[in-house]
């Protein structure tokens, strides 16, 4: 199953297809847990899934297994707006899909929980978190995003909520 997930989430070249596949997988996994949701697929800047009246933003972290860091987006320069764990409504849900030790997993919680964890890491372990600007110019326009790279082991010393295995379950 991990190889199939790799084909869906890593080997696909189109970033939008990867993102949509991640959203369908997360919604399918939520369905397995008894939640009723649907993927919006409308390029909403704030969330990707509505499930049980909760708005959920999904992000796919394809390099975590290679870098031992989580990549938490906070700002999108292409669209000049907050994104990822930073949003004007911190009571919405954030879901982070990642691969760890060869197994696809996800963590899901309120955005404010993730922000508070990063703040605590910044205060207690400043050498384990760093800002990262992945930016470049296309036709004279700044594109890309700003993110925080966080050591995975350090993240889990602060973040104590459940980590879920990602199952091969797709759901619109």
Percent of the chain with pLDDT over 90: 70
Farthest CA pair distance, the chain:
47
Closest C-alpha among 147, 153, 107, 146 to residue 128:
153
- Domains defined along the chain, listed by start: 2-165 (3.40.1350)
pLDDT band at 166 (very low <50, low <70, confident <90, very high): very high
pLDDT band at 6 (very low <50, low <70, confident <90, very high): very high
- Residue pointed to by tokens 């995975």: 152
Instruction: Report the pLDDT averaged over residues 45-72.
Output: 93
């Amino acid at each position: 199953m991990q190889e199939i997930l790799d084909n869906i989430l890593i080997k696909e070249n189109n970033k939008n297809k990867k993102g949509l596949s991640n959203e369908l997988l997360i919604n399918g996994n939520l369905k397995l847990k008894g939640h009723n949701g649907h993927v919006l697929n409308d390029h909403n800047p704030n969330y990707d899934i509505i499930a049980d009246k909760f708005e959920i933003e999904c992000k796919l972290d394809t390099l975590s297994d290679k870098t031992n860091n989580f990549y938490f987006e906070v700002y999108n320069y292409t669209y000049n707006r907050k994104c990822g764990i930073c949003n004007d409504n911190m009571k919405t849900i954030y879901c982070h899909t990642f691969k760890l030790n060869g197994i696809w997993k996800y963590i899901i919680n309120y955005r404010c929980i993730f922000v508070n964890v990063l703040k605590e890491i910044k205060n207690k372990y400043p050498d384990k978190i760093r800002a990262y600007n992945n930016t470049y110019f296309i036709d004279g326009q700044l594109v890309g995003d700003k993110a925080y790279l966080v050591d995975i082991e350090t993240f889990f010393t602060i973040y104590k909520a459940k980590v879920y295995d990602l199952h091969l379950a797709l759901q619109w």
